[in-house]
Structure 1
Amino acid sequence: MATGNVGVGTTSPKSNFTVVGAGCFSGGAGSTVACGTTAGSIYYRSASVGTYDVAENYPTSDVSINAGTIASLDLTSGTTITTATPGSIPLGVVSTDPGLISLVVYR
């Protein structure tokens, strides 16, 4: 199919591929990769993602942050990241090519 949307559990899919209800991705013969059984959640079980970076989207007001920067929590705001400094606790390195992106929810 070159155009259009595909829906599972719906007759009016809103995107290229829409699943309404639970769904799983499998490599075959009992090798479940990921399942989504709870609204808004995907449970990742096991598989190789090669050299993918797993990245999170964190807000920042630090204009100097770019790919390769070691990031830490900005203690002045408590909800954003900044460039890590000696003594800070690093959260990770800003990715140049994220393969998987996690959702960070602030409450």
Structure 2
Amino acid sequence: MSADCIFCKIASDDIPAKKFYEDEEVIAFHDIRPIAPVHFLLVPKLHIGSLAECDQAHQDLLGKMLLLAPKLAAQLGLKGFRTMINTGREGGQEVFHIHIHVFGGGETLPKI
């Protein structure tokens, strides 16, 4: 855990968030600046700065998060969704704690 990381503070309940899933390794909560009708974040409790910092030791955690994304999306009524992991400042990352954005629920998502 990093003392100055907002996601670490959310994971430890020092900062409130609209959490809707939590287990021993991962939390999920609604994004405070959604870009779609449904937009949530999957965040590991372990502080990892970005995907670029991951190695073989993180394989199980990353796999768990990717397999959890469709289950949680379905629970929130999504039949289809998009995932996104911003990596590094040049990749659009704003919070330097790895997280997966999951969003959908509308026809407004741009085609890429």
- Range into which the TM-score falls when normalised by the shorter chain: under 0.3
Q: Larger Rg: 1 or 2?
A: 1
Relative to the length of structure 1, the TM-score reads 0.24
